[in-house]
Amino acid sequence: MTTNQTEAEKYILVAVATGDEEAAWDSLDELAELLDTAGGVSLVHLVQNLPHPDRATYIGKGKAAELREMAEIHEADGIICDDELTASQIRNLSELTGTKVIDRTTLILDIFAAHARTREGKLQVEIAQQKYRYVRLRGMGAALSRLGAGIGTRGPGETKLETDRRVIQKRIKLLSDDIEEMKRARNTARKKRSANSVPTVAIVGYTNAGKSTLLNSITGSDVISEDKLFATLDPTTRSALLGDGQQVLFTDTVGFINKLPHNLVDAFRSTLEEAGYADLILHVVDASDPQAELHLKVVYETLEDLDIGGKPVITVWNKADLFEPDAVFRDFGADASVSISAKTGQGLDVLLGEIARILNENRVYIDTVIPYKNAAVIAEIRRTGQLISEEYTEDGIAVKARVPRALTNRIG
Ligand SMILES: Nc1nc2c(ncn2[C@@H]2O[C@H](COP(=O)(O)OP(=O)(O)OP(=O)(O)O)[C@@H](O)[C@H]2O)c(=O)[nH]1
Ligand SMILES: [Mg+2]
């Protein structure tokens, strides 16, 4: 029998449960979806209950011996652990089990590397990968060389053992500078957009929730949407008209996931900052997913991590075609919530109405002259609204701005 070169790689998935065992199994299901997206196949799922992951080997030594046998029987290509591992955990576990060991972070980075399309996306992924490698270079030794090819090794690096930490450090610096430059370009583009006083709505949510499908159905665009995790990495902005005729820009963003590698959050901070400048956030949830509640929590936490709190939020319970018509979902943290199906278009009109309502409630366009004695209000506009232009005239400061409604009575 000859082995087929293109045959999918097969892995055993392992998690340590420190409390909720059920949650650990669910997380492994998600890990299996990640592996599927990366083109691999999961053979067996395994959970070990421990007070905390073993510092040296992640799982216990006995379990590791079991795994070694299992890997041999199933002819597994390796083991994937559901948490981020240290260099020594990878090395030790790899020695104990005699096979390749990768962690959840590496798998996610691998998918991002395969899906990155734009120069910026590629840079962001590489920076996250280099940072991951940087802290693990010391002490990974044999385990790194055992990685060979395939899942966990894609992307720019394929960092050889001899690669010096200093070289990586230099590379990280270079990449950061490039990203910083792109950020400046984006800032300029954003300023231009806000000069047109077109409100922006950021579509955020857990991966595979239906963000791109929603962008497509609202704006009639054709961003890739598929039943894969992290189909979208780069933000896409498209324009649409609401029922009341006002133009709005919608931005689709990269999805979030539980245990999202911190380096990735950092690397994507600049693209996700787009959401921070939005007037409104649409938080898309796949309400047909049994894990919807956990996903909701993860998204809120990640937004907080990115300092994108305090914006008006509409929670969009998506995939209504898949859940009971009278199902009720609640999100007390949101300003509004709407059930829709991005696929069939059900509920879209209600959603657009809510978007218009909240945008109008929260921002008012003003074109007025502020008397010099009230000049302090300019600073207030800068802080809470959007100052589009100011011009010093004889009668006062001519201002065009979009401001919170509450501010308008003080501008007069
Ligand atoms: N049944 C049903 N499927 C939907 C709906 N909306 C999206 N989907 C499907 O869900 C999958 C994910 O949709 P995407 O739009 O790619 O999701 P996303 O949130 O952009 O995902 P990422 O970019 O990977 O984070 C696709 O297979 C869509 O066809 C819906 O309302 N109903
Ligand atoms: Mg998408």
Model confidence at 3: pLDDT above 50: no
- Please give the distance, rounded to the nearest whole angstrom, from the Cα atom of residue 288 to the centre of ligand 1: 11
How far is Cα 127 from Cα 111, in angstroms, rounded to an integer?
A: 14
- Please give the distance, rounded to the nearest whole angstrom, from the Cα atom of residue 112 to the centre of ligand 2: 13
Q: Which residues surround ligand 2, an ion (CB under 5 A)?
A: 211-212, 231-232
- Enter the DSSP assignment of 254: -
Mean pLDDT within 36-43: 95
| Ligand 1 site, residue 319, Cβ cutoff 6 A | yes
Mean pLDDT within 161-167: 66
Closest CA to 313 of 279, 270, 349: 279
What is the length of the chain?
412
Q: 253 and 211 in contact (C-beta within 8 Å)?
A: yes
Q: Given pLDDT bands bounded at 50, 70 and 90, which one contains residue 2? A: very low
The residue whose C-alpha atom lies closest to atom 13 belonging to ligand 1 is: 210
pLDDT at 98: 95
Better pLDDT: 138 or 340: 340
pLDDT per residue as tens digits for the range 94-108: 999 999 999 999 999
Model confidence at 13: pLDDT above 60: yes
Instruction: Write a three-state SS string for the chain.
Output: CCCCCCCCCEEEEEEEECCCHHHHHHHHHHHHHHHHHCCCEEEEEEEEECCCCECCCECCHHHHHHHHHHHHHHCCCEEEECCCCCHHHHHHHHHHHCCEEEEHHHHHHHHHHHHCCCHHHHHHHHHHHHHHHHHHCCCCHHHHHHHCCCCCCCCCCCCCCCCCHHHHHHHHHHHHHHHHHHHHHHHHHHHHHHHCCCCEEEEEEECCCCHHHHHHHHHCCCCCCCCCCCCCCCCEEEEEECCCCCEEEEEECCCECCCCCHHHHHHCHHHHHHHHCCCEEEEEEECCCCCHHHHHHHHHHHHHHCCCCCCCEEEEEECHHHCCCCCCCCCCCCCEEEECCCCCCCCHHHHHHHHHHHHHHHCEEEEEEECHHHCHHHHHHHHHCEEEEEEECCCCEEEEEEECHHHHHHHC
| Ligand 1 site, residue 144, Cβ cutoff 6 A | no
H helix or E strand, kind and range, residue 269 = helix 269-276
Q: For the chain, what percent of residues have pLDDT higher than 70?
A: 90
- Please give the distance, rounded to the nearest whole angstrom, from the Cα atom of residue 93 to the centre of ligand 1: 37
- Please give the distance, rounded to the nearest whole angstrom, from the Cα atom of residue 44 to the centre of ligand 1: 27
pLDDT at 307: 82
Atom in ligand 1 nearest the alpha carbon of residue 230: 24
- Please give the distance, rounded to the nearest whole angstrom, from the Cα atom of residue 285 to the centre of ligand 2: 13
Q: Cα–Cα–Cα angle for 13, 101, 130, nearest 5°?
A: 115
pLDDT at 93: 96
> Which of 111, 204, 213 has most ligand 1 atoms within 8 Å of CB, for mutation?
213
- Please give the distance, rounded to the nearest whole angstrom, from the Cα atom of residue 309 to the centre of ligand 1: 25
Q: 379 and 411 in contact (C-beta within 8 Å)?
A: no
SS3 14: strand
Q: For the chain, what percent of residues have pLDDT higher than 90?
A: 51
Which residues does residue 107 pair with via DSSP β-bridges, in sequence order?
Answer: none
Which residues does residue 205 pair with via DSSP β-bridges, in sequence order?
Answer: 284
pLDDT per residue as tens digits for the range 280-301: 999 999 999 999 999 999 999 9
Match 């497509």 to its residue by tokens. Answer: 216
Q: 9 and 151 in contact (C-beta within 8 Å)?
A: yes
Mean pLDDT within 248-275: 85
Q: Given pLDDT bands bounded at 50, 70 and 90, which one contains residue 355? A: very high
The residue whose C-alpha atom lies closest to atom 29 belonging to ligand 1 is: 226
The residue whose C-alpha atom lies closest to atom 12 belonging to ligand 1 is: 208
Q: Given pLDDT bands bounded at 50, 70 and 90, which one contains residue 392? A: very high
The residue whose C-alpha atom lies closest to atom 7 belonging to ligand 1 is: 210
Q: What is the mean pLDDT of the chain?
A: 86
The residue whose C-alpha atom lies closest to atom 30 belonging to ligand 1 is: 319
H helix or E strand, kind and range, residue 217 = helix 211-219
pLDDT at 297: 94
pLDDT at 154: 60
Atom in ligand 1 nearest the alpha carbon of residue 213: 15
Mean pLDDT within 129-149: 67
pLDDT per residue as tens digits for the range 202-249: 999 999 999 999 999 999 888 888 888 888 887 888 988 887 777 888
| Domains assigned to the chain | 10-147 (3.40.50.11060), 198-361 (3.40.50.300), 363-411 (no CATH)
Considering every ligand atom, which ligand is closest to the CA of 227?
1
- Please give the distance, rounded to the nearest whole angstrom, from the Cα atom of residue 111 to the centre of ligand 2: 14
Sign of the CA dihedral 129, 185, 245, 383?
positive
Considering every ligand atom, which ligand is closest to the CA of 37?
1
Mean pLDDT within 401-406: 76
- Please give the distance, rounded to the nearest whole angstrom, from the Cα atom of residue 2 to the centre of ligand 2: 39
Atom in ligand 1 nearest the alpha carbon of residue 340: 31
pLDDT per residue as tens digits for the range 328-339: 888 888 999 999
Mean pLDDT within 144-148: 51
SS3 78: strand
pLDDT per residue as tens digits for the range 173-213: 999 898 888 888 877 877 776 655 578 899 999 999 999 99
